[in-house]
Structures are given as structure tokens and as C-alpha cells.
Amino acid sequence: MGRRTFLAAVGTGLAGCTASPAPAPEVHLPVRKQPGVVTPALSTTELMAFDVTVRGRAGLTEVLRALSSPVADAVVTIAVGASLFDGRFGLERPRRLTPMPSFRSDVLDPAWCHGDLLVQVSADSREPVDAALARQIPGLTPRWRMPGFHPDGTRNLFGFREGAGNPDASDAKLMDEHVWVQPGDDEPAWCVGGTYQVVRLIRLAMPSWDAEPLEVQERVFGRTKDTGAPLGQASEHDRPDFASDPGGRRIALNAHIRRANPRTPESEAHKILRRGHSYRLSESDAGQIFVCYQRDVELGFATIQRRLAGEALEKYLLPFGGGYFFVLPGTDDGHVSLG
Ligand code: HEM
């Protein structure tokens, strides 16, 4: 992934999202998106949240301009939090952008939550990420930052493979359906080409997990640890067959994948693109930086998270931070856009 530049176009309005005249057949307007969402995950990713201390749109433009200045070999993705829309800048808020609520079993630490801006930097090594985040940018107060990594290919710190249940990020049509805000959505026009980003900082109870026998761990997820196949099936990409197992004999009713995606006609509307990372702050503090993207945060993350309440995985997790953000659209000339 090479150099990327995003300059702010604050206050200039729309990024290729003019409505097309009524019955035109499939007119494709060039809606630009930022990288770091559907592009392949890189080995090192750090999230850094800031509060903005400048006043007025011109000041905000400068801040975004500085943040989006190029850093070699880093992919920078810029998102905004609900607090940026408190009237300071006269901006029109993405309709579903609220502060992240506290869900059952969350123990949220305000020092690790929310932020006016979220900057995500990814690279294939540490140096470009450090370089991007070491820049001193006037008008920004750091709020929290969390360095993430992929420990072993696609496995998380609990040793399970991740990604099987994700929609295919290389399928542009699928991503338009589930990830990117589209023309005609019930959103301010400037939001087209953006996406809701949910971040959850989740400490993992590693000693308790490691003490569990393999079969317990597999029952918690509903998949085998080795291959990632749904329990009772042969390979990772086999579709779990819950319909023929209504009592949960093969895959428990409170297994993570069964709660997360019950695979009923109703649950089809609740699709998210997960892009998680692991973190390790100390010997005793390690976990998951859960990140997901969706076109509608209520239909996506929030519905799924409520369904996960009481799942078998819950007792090994401590969600303590994160937030709801909105990834800004890109523009034709490589800017980010904020209406
Ligand atoms: C530390 C916390 C978590 C861990 C360790 C974890 C781990 C996993 C694993 C191993 C899988 C199976 C492989 C895969 O499909 O990727 C999975 C699937 C999934 N997880 Fe999580 N997850 C966590 C939190 C969450 C949260 C907070 C959500 C959303 C609210 C979520 C939503 C999903 C979904 C939608 C699937 C796909 C289910 C399917 O289609 O079969 N997960 N997760």
C-alpha cells in the first residue's frame, strides 16, 4: 500500500453524490472512499482519538489538512465522532452518529472512549505508523490511542481464526449494500461514500480462557479451533446449519457465531464488516480491538451486540472503551469530505 494523501474539503459540500434523474438505468457516479476500510488488513494498525480545540470551519479544515498529509507507506483513515457535531462547526451530523452507549457487561472507562476525531493508521511495519502519529498537529488534543497487531495471521489472542463469517470485502456490490452510505439513504448528502465505524476495546481474560479445555473453547465460539469449521462441519467456509439443530446439540444456542449471525431471513439485514486487531499493553492487559463498518450502525453493530448479551463468550470479555465514529467520504482529488 503506497503513499496516500487526504486533504480536507470542509464546508465545500458534496463528494460526487448528486442525485441522478429519476428512471436512469444504473448511473454510476464516482463516489470516492477512503482506504483502510475494505482494503486488505495490514499487520500493524494503531487507533488514535483526538479532541479538536480549534474554532470555526477554517480551523477544522487546517487540522484535517495536516492530519491527512502524506506519510510514506501508511494508510490513514479519518473518522469523526458525534461530539464534533455539537454546534461548534455548524456541521450536519450523520443521522445515526450518537455517542456509543454502554451495553450490558460493558465497564466503560471515559479515558478510553469517544473523541471528536479518530485516526486509524495501518502499515506493514511499525515505523510508518509511528511516523504518522508522531506529527505534532496544532488544534488537537490526544484523547486515547491503542496500538494493534495481528498475532498469527488471522487468529485472535484466544487462538481462533477470524473472518469466515465476514462478507467478502472485495465484492464492491456487497460493500455498497452493507458498508457504504448510498445516494438516497436517509442521511445528509455529504455522507455518501462514508461508513459508520464502531470501535470496541475489549480486554480478554487470558488466564481463564487458557485454562479451559479445547472442547469448552470450541463450544463458546461454535467453531473448531484448528480449521475454523463450524462444529459438525468439514471446512471453515461451510455454512453453519442451525435450522437442522434447533436445540443446539451441535452448536450451542449461546455460541458466539450463533448469536452473532443466527442465519434466519430476518438476520440478513444485520451485516457488518469486521476488521479487528489484537492489542497487548502489558502482561496482564491484552485483548481485542474490535472494529466494524456498516452502512447503518443501529441495523449493524448495535443489533448484533444486543443479541450477544448472555452469550457464552461474555464472561471472558471486558469491554472498556471505544466509540461510534463516521469514516468521512473521499473525493475525486484525494481529499476527505465533511459537509
Ligand atoms: C473479543 C471479542 C470477540 C472475539 C474474540 C470474537 C471472535 C470471533 C470469532 C473467532 C468468530 C468466528 C470466525 C469469523 O466468522 O470471523 C466470530 C464471528 C463473528 N463475530 Fe465475533 N468476536 C468478538 C466480538 C464480537 C462483537 C463485539 C461482535 C458484534 C457486535 C461480533 C460479531 C461477530 C459476527 C457478526 C461474526 C460472524 C458470525 C457468522 O457469520 O458466522 N464479534 N467472532
Residue 261 CA, ligand 1 centroid: distance in Å: 9
Per-position DSSP letters for 60-90, written without gaps between them: HHHHHHHHTS--TT-EEEEEEEGGGGSSSS-
Ligand 1, CB cutoff 6 Å, lining residues: 156, 158, 160, 162-166, 200, 202, 221, 223, 256-257, 260-261, 272, 274, 288, 290, 301, 304-305, 308, 317
Q: Using CA positions, which residue lies closest to atom 11 of ligand 1?
A: 162
Instruction: For the chain, give the mean pLDDT.
Output: 90
pLDDT at res. 6? 34
Inform me whether the pLDDT recorded for 9 exceeds 90: no
> Over pLDDT 70: what percentage of the chain?
88
Here the cell at position 292 is 466494524
pLDDT band at 332 (very low <50, low <70, confident <90, very high): low
pLDDT at res. 89? 94
pLDDT digits 0-9 by tens, 45-91 = 999 999 999 999 999 988 988 888 899 999 999 999 999 999 999 99
Q: pTM of the prediction?
A: 0.92
For a mutational test of ligand 1's pocket, the pick from 223, 237, 290, 306, i.e. the residue with the most ligand atoms closer than 8 A to its C-beta, is: 290
> Over pLDDT 90: what percentage of the chain?
83
pLDDT at res. 269? 92
Residue 279 or 338, more confident: 279
Q: Using CA positions, which residue lies closest to atom 25 of ligand 1?
A: 290
CA distances from 313 to 23, 75, 217 (A): 48, 32, 9
Q: What ranges make up the beta strands (E) of 232-316? A: 273-274, 277-282, 285-294
Inform me whether the pLDDT recorded for 293 exceeds 80: yes
Q: Where are the domains of the chain?
A: 30-333
